[in-house]
Structure 1
Amino acid sequence: MAAAGASVFTGASSPFFRRELPSSGIKLKSVRFPSVTPRFAVSVDRVPATAEKGNSAEAKRVEGSGAAEREKNGWEEENEKQRRNGWKDYFEQAKELIKPDGGPPRWFSPLESGSRLENSPLLLFLPGIDGVGLGIVLHHQKLGRIFDIWCLHIPVADRTSFTDLVKLVERTVKSENQRSPNRPIYLVGESLGACLALAVAALNPGIDLILILANPATSFSRSQLQLLTPLLEAFPGPLSPGLPNILSLTGGDPLRMVLDNLVKGLPLQNTAREIMEDFTTLSSSLPVLADILPKETLLWKLKMLKAASGYVDARLHAVKAQTLILCSGNDQLLPSQHEGQRLFQLLPRCELRKFDNGGHFLFLQEGNVDLVTILKGTSYYRRGKYHDYTSDFILPTPDEAKKIIESYSLLNVVTSAVMLSTLEDGTVVKGLAGIPSEGPVLLVGYHMLLGLELVPLVSRIFTETNILVRGIAHPMMFERRKNGRLPDPSSFDSFRIMGAVPVAGTNLFKLLSSKSHVLLFPGGMREALHRKGEEYKLFWPEQSEFVRMAARFGAKIVPFGTVGEDDFGQVVIDYDDLAKIPYFRSEIESLTNESLQLRADVSGEVANQQVHLPGIFPKVPGRFYYYFGKPFETEGRKQELRDREKSEELYLQVKSEVERCIAYLKEKRESDPYRSILSRLLYQATHGFASEVPTFEI
């Protein structure tokens, strides 16, 4: 697109911040600013094809190998660009931004953030001690798909006080909230910027703000940074000669970065090149760093940090905003993990994520921290007053899905899942060809012990058919009490990225209405935490919970059975055993009360949802087997299945088919010569470890 560049700053020309002239076929929308700040950037308001499909079920299966390849390559190009960004881009773009112009703090919108989803919320980035505003440069492109991004730039020579910066951000927040009152405003702040975000939130509890805070400087009074002020005041002359030594405190020491890269496990052919690039980048950028934080500016910022920390600490009680704290375990400037835990306990609507290997500048840490992925995993992305698990869901990129699947590679290798499915004519085939490619589809099956079947099931369907299955999951995977003992929700971030939603009739309704592929286990926790001798026994409710919902949208119901848990472990201590011991009975009651109660209005064993961990005796691993039966059609049966007897009849047919699939697998696996892991390993040793291990004849 042809564009004429106009400088953001008087007398300077920048490729990063410019006004764009309209060209045919593209609609331009000016960024709005409060009257106290200049308008100097525009954003392209056009949704790319990949983004348009973000909330459509059609995006779950890209039709045609050509389309799939194009979409895959597009994401790979973006991911490759991200891998090339980071500190290098920060320094290159900072050279333009830090040129003195005498201007006040102001907002800019990075042009490389591109086009975004419809009704995307506003994201205001509040920088740390550097003030440049490029702290999320590594994330501009991905964030730009789902946000309208504005970044705050504080010129090097500017001496605006912390309280005046708070007023500046507050004016912007109020103005944009008045313009779009039904959309949240995201405040993403690191260090000093996190203090700004908290201060604005404390002063505006009635505005829908979402705070994303990286290593908040609210811990300044407990950090070693306090010692830097007298050191700088005693330091004669300009800072440049001693800058490398001071920078070693920030994790920016070139030698440290070189050593970090050595332990990353980089491919041998890339190691030397990337180490030299890191070293060269840091070494050549020392003058830029000295220009960003000259002695006088650094002293001013340190004093501002002290004032900001005290200001915010006195107002934390007033913060009501939804908050996500990201804290690093290797922050050399601030005690970030301790501070993150403190804020997590103090703030009422707060989640915490820890990055043990992260440094102070978390958003510039290449390869380990992806802000968009974090928002997906924590379910913190929304475009309205409440998070909607359907309309606010963003498909995982191929890179995200690959990383998640690879993180479970050991489980997938050990289970070596066998997948069978049934074609429309009733033929049973190896593979997943029998699963309908067009939604809505409801996959209904048996929940194995501890839900062990989930990872191989979802990952194989995704990799082999390009279908993302949306799992209906227990609410404990999404939230817990702050002082509770249930697993931390961060343990399930990957499940949320891959589309899991809390069990609720409204969520099933929305997923089916959007033509999704939905995974449902009617037996729920009762099946996943079954007792001794209850392997492969279904615990389904008496009511036909899902049939009429499926019929409403003409969804295909695909029953399936899974077998193999008894080849991996045996329950030796179950709920009945634990309940006889007072201590464990008390623990179970505590955990169950901590969890959201499901099916409290139903009767029978399925209502027995006690949260506990059974004692399991491990075995030499066998193999997992999945069998998808012939789909039940509900298209055109909406009126018929409104009748309770008719829906009950179909419900029992589905249940019977699941039991038949389980019985079939239990029988056929006896003739599988590779049921044992030892025989599979021997086969792969002779045929290659990437080869598919055979199974029984159908």
Structure 2
Amino acid sequence: MAATGGCVAFSTVVRSCQLTPAPSSGNLRPNPSQRQFAVSSESQFTTTVRGETKRTFGENGIFKEKHKEEAREGVTKERQKNPYELELERNESDEDRSRKSLKDYFEESKDLIRSEGGGGGGPPRWFSPLDCGSRLDDSPLLLYLPGIDGVGLGLIMHHQSLGEIFDIWCLHIPVKDRTSFTDLVKLVEQTVRSENCHSPNRPIYLVGESLGACLALAVAVRNPDIDLSLILANPGTSFEKSQLQPLIPLLGIIPVQYQLSLSYMLSSMTGDPLRMAMDKVMKGLTLQQTAEGLLKDVAAMSSYVYVLANILPEDTLLWKLKMLKSASAFANSRLHAVKAQTLLLTSGRDQLLPSEDEGKRLHRALPKCEIRRFNDNGHYLFLLSPIVQEDGVDLVTVIKGASFYRRGKCRDYVFDYIPPTPSEFKNICESNRLFMRATSPVMLSTLEDGKIVKGLAGIPSEGPVLFIGYHMLLGYELVPMVMNILLERNILMRGMAHPMMFMRKKEGNLPELSSFDTYRIMGAVPVSGTNLYKLLSSKAHVLLYPGGLREACHRKGEQYKLIWPEQSEFVRMAARFGAKIVPFGVAGEDDFGEIVFDYDDQMKIPFVKDFIKSLSEEADTVRSGLNSEVNQDIHSPVVLPKFPGRFYYYFGKPIETEGRMSELRDRDNAHELYMQVKLEVEKCLAFLQEKRESDPYRNLLARLAYQSTHGFDSEVPTFEL
């Protein structure tokens, strides 16, 4: 993309990147020992030359093959460890080293202000941070619209991760600039229209916080025909109800009020020091370490106030607050006209704006809107003090969890999917650690010669592979199975899931879509023939439950009963791509809970029946026109918890379909294979139910006793094969 304006290099220390200046910019020669921002002084973009190494994840997992070999070489005899755990640790340490902090925000803000020349002059301009990672092919454009600080570095802690999947441009509004809100709207609108004309099939993301969110809404209203996706963090549309509004008449009258305002804003950035200190103690740090950290942060905060005073001198702060007031009124008067897809991010501890209540209001007002709430975060959602860095919001993870990332006109759940990063997977593992310990899963698989082995060596490495199995009560088996297959074999299973996890026909009483974000991060897609076709054509490892919701929400006395459609499914699709079908069974649900109030019981109570029918009307059905034995209204059986038992998984011998496409076009042949797969799943279930009786560690107390002497992360033995 060529730029036509003059170019200024804003530099701070880190690393060098090449800069491609605009034709009229003259000879700019940035210092090669410094990292630069490419900035256009006439609101035009310059292109930046990065090392465009294509990002790779491994064919079906999140670890590269060469890293697996490196990890194996690094395992010592004294401390044997899963090679993928070593790779996770390596990636975590790399991310920690590259992760930026609030200190970096202030340091780089100083450089931007210093580079403005003449004390912060010049018009608003765009810059592209060069610390972004190498992008995926056809990455969409992301325009960051800042809050009242105007610096444009609000995403500094996310530049690297966002830069791997977006082309990022950030808006910088110089300190002394007095461009009105409507003129800022026109500036962003001009850029949006220009980029849409250049790449009409590429969506444009507008990420705005507070004032920037109002700006994004205004641009969306004025450009309904352009493909825009809005991500709004604590929107300034609630300014009339905020604690900022009383500052407008006081600023300029009471000088001390200005200092109080800056201190108040700084506290919103850095958080509550006492709470953060307690969090550190709870996480195992000593009082001495905590005290030393607090002293460093107090010293740093004094310098932060100085930089904040340079970013928002008194006259600029007054101007920005007045602009926020007019921006709020402008956006609110036009909310009814916003048609763009919107993702709302709201904080529960926002001290500047009533963002939590405003999020609820906007969620109702905007037609294509989803919301994600962060109850423990303050106003500056994307900026955190180094003390609580681990409690921050990872914008890329939020976008992936909400299925908000796309590279074309429509969202493609298969080809727009981005596998979890090592840190994302580690967080998911941590959140499920207690469940994994309580169930202590046993994994068995079958080799090509028919031998049953412990572990997952029998699962085919090369796709396409179609896992067909029994859906345990409420899907409890999913987490241990998906996690263990990824950890042990570096295979990411792409699960075919109920549509209610992705979309709703109307709002109601179903769980919020955010409760299913982890499933989407781990690769779940809405179950459909089209998505199955795409997954198998991309040689993925696909997880499919023919029994679906009916099997997961089975009734009393239906444990380990396969409830499948009568007509054959999935067989001919598997044969079309030569996929291996892996039948599997799971046992253990009756050790975990017992159904005491099932669907039949609930339908006998009139008001409960009406409630179930209303739930089913909120989401699409999976199968239409099939017999009632398979179709199932959305409901939740009442389960009485039991003393946690153990989960057992058995993956049968893979069934080959390659070369059988013409044979399986015949319905009878396809149905025969379908029934063969069903029989194999039933055999797997029967095998596990028989063998678990001889497991000396089936009981939770026996497993705890073993781990107390061998370590709680040790693998607990099971029955002999």
Please state which band the TM-score falls in when normalised by the shorter chain.
Answer: over 0.9
2:61 is the alignment partner of 1:46: no
Contact 1:244 1:253 in 2 (8 A): no
| Counterpart position of 2:32 | none
**Alignment equivalent of 1:534, drawn from 558, 583, 589:** 558
**Alignment equivalent of 2:43, drawn from 37, 42, 63:** 37
| Counterpart position of 1:378 | 402
Q: 1:100-141, CA deviations, whole angstroms, 9 ceiling, x for partnerless residues?
A: 432100000001113201110100000001000000000000
Question: Residues 149 and 431 (structure 1 numbering): CA distance in 2 closer, same or farther, change over 3 Å?
Answer: same
Pairs within 5 Å for 1:18-417:
20=19, 36-40=42-46, 42-44=48-50, 46-48=52-54, 51-53=55-57, 56-57=59-60, 62=65, 65-66=68-69, 75-83=91-99, 85-99=100-114, 100-101=116-117, 102-236=121-255, 239=258, 242=260, 245-247=263-265, 250-252=268-270, 255=273, 258-259=276-277, 262=280, 265=283, 267-268=285-286, 271-272=290-291, 274-365=293-384, 366-367=389-390, 368-417=392-441
Partners of 2:719 and 2:692 in 1: CA distance:
7
| Counterpart position of 2:75 | none
Task: Name the amino acid aligned to 1:645.
Answer: D
Contact 1:61 1:467 in 2 (8 A): no
Contact 1:126 1:152 in 2 (8 A): yes
| Counterpart position of 1:670 | 693
Instruction: Give the structure-1-normalised TM-score.
Output: 0.92
Q: CA deviation at 1:636?
A: 1.6
Instruction: Give the structure-2-normalised TM-score.
Output: 0.89
Task: Name the amino acid aligned to 2:50.
Answer: V
Query: SS of the residue aligned with 1:600?
Result: coil
Pairs within 5 Å for 1:536-555:
536-555=560-579
Task: Name the amino acid aligned to 2:52.
Answer: R
Question: Residues 277 and 35 (structure 1 numbering): CA distance in 2 closer, same or farther, change over 3 Å?
Answer: closer
Partners of 1:409 and 1:58 in 2: CA distance:
21
Question: Residues 195 and 266 (structure 1 numbering): CA distance in 2 closer, same or farther, change over 3 Å?
Answer: farther
Query: SS of the residue aligned with 2:111?
Result: helix
Question: Residues 260 and 309 (structure 1 numbering): CA distance in 2 closer, same or farther, change over 3 Å?
Answer: farther
Q: 1:261-303, CA deviations, whole angstroms, 9 ceiling, x for partnerless residues?
A: 5467264496455434433332222211110010000000000
| Counterpart position of 2:517 | 493
Task: Name the amino acid aligned to 2:636.
Answer: L
Q: CA deviation at 1:243?
A: 5.8
Q: CA deviation at 1:18?
A: 7.5
Question: Residues 58 and 247 (structure 1 numbering): CA distance in 2 closer, same or farther, change over 3 Å?
Answer: closer
- More deviation in 540-549 or 288-297? 540-549
Question: Residues 218 and 160 (structure 1 numbering): CA distance in 2 closer, same or farther, change over 3 Å?
Answer: same
Task: Name the amino acid aligned to 2:135.
Answer: R
Task: Name the amino acid aligned to 2:656.
Answer: E
- How large is the RMSD of aligned CA atoms in angstroms? 2.6
Question: Residues 131 and 669 (structure 1 numbering): CA distance in 2 closer, same or farther, change over 3 Å?
Answer: same
| Counterpart position of 2:548 | 524
Contact 2:145 2:208 in 1 (8 A): yes
Contact 2:40 2:46 in 1 (8 A): no
Question: Residues 119 and 244 (structure 1 numbering): CA distance in 2 closer, same or farther, change over 3 Å?
Answer: closer
Q: 1:633-692, CA deviations, whole angstroms, 9 ceiling, x for partnerless residues?
A: 111212222221211111111100000010111111111111111111111112221221
Partners of 2:11 and 2:67 in 1: CA distance:
45
Q: 1:239-261, CA deviations, whole angstroms, 9 ceiling, x for partnerless residues?
A: 45x56644466354684575475
Question: Residues 53 and 415 (structure 1 numbering): CA distance in 2 closer, same or farther, change over 3 Å?
Answer: closer
Question: Residues 245 and 136 (structure 1 numbering): CA distance in 2 closer, same or farther, change over 3 Å?
Answer: closer
Partners of 2:17 and 2:570 in 1: CA distance:
54
Structure 1: tracts of 5 or more residues without a match: 1-5, 24-29
Partners of 2:519 and 2:37 in 1: CA distance:
36
Query: SS of the residue aligned with 1:20?
Result: strand
Question: Residues 257 and 683 (structure 1 numbering): CA distance in 2 closer, same or farther, change over 3 Å?
Answer: closer
Q: CA deviation at 1:345?
A: 0.5
Q: CA deviation at 1:178?
A: 0.3
Task: Name the amino acid aligned to 2:677.
Answer: V
| Counterpart position of 1:643 | 666
Query: SS of the residue aligned with 1:47?
Result: coil
Question: Residues 257 and 584 (structure 1 numbering): CA distance in 2 closer, same or farther, change over 3 Å?
Answer: closer
Contact 2:446 2:651 in 1 (8 A): yes
Q: CA deviation at 1:230?
A: 2.2
| Counterpart position of 1:26 | none
Partners of 2:703 and 2:398 in 1: CA distance:
37
Partners of 2:401 and 2:256 in 1: CA distance:
48
Partners of 1:378 and 1:334 in 2: CA distance:
24
Task: Name the amino acid aligned to 2:43.
Answer: T
Partners of 1:13 and 1:387 in 2: CA distance:
37
Contact 1:34 1:172 in 2 (8 A): no
Contact 1:18 1:41 in 2 (8 A): no
Contact 1:247 1:253 in 2 (8 A): no
Partners of 1:601 and 1:672 in 2: CA distance:
44
- More deviation in 178-187 or 98-107? 98-107
Question: Residues 221 and 482 (structure 1 numbering): CA distance in 2 closer, same or farther, change over 3 Å?
Answer: farther
Contact 1:238 1:294 in 2 (8 A): no
Task: Name the amino acid aligned to 2:402.
Answer: T
Partners of 2:174 and 2:274 in 1: CA distance:
29
| Counterpart position of 1:27 | none
Q: CA deviation at 1:232?
A: 1.6
Q: CA deviation at 1:395?
A: 1.0
Q: CA deviation at 1:220?
A: 0.1
**Alignment equivalent of 2:683, drawn from 638, 660, 669:** 660
| Counterpart position of 2:80 | none
Query: SS of the residue aligned with 1:404?
Result: helix
Partners of 1:111 and 1:328 in 2: CA distance:
29
Structure 2: tracts of 5 or more residues without a match: 22-28, 30-35, 72-82
State percent identity of aligned pairs. 60
Query: SS of the residue aligned with 1:364?
Result: coil
Query: SS of the residue aligned with 1:362?
Result: coil
Q: CA deviation at 1:79?
A: 1.7
Query: SS of the residue aligned with 1:683?
Result: helix
Q: CA deviation at 1:456?
A: 0.9
- More deviation in 660-669 or 64-73? 64-73
Q: 1:143-190, CA deviations, whole angstroms, 9 ceiling, x for partnerless residues?
A: 111111000000000000000000000000000000000010000001
Query: SS of the residue aligned with 1:639?
Result: helix
- More deviation in 71-80 or 612-621? 71-80
Question: Residues 64 and 116 (structure 1 numbering): CA distance in 2 closer, same or farther, change over 3 Å?
Answer: closer
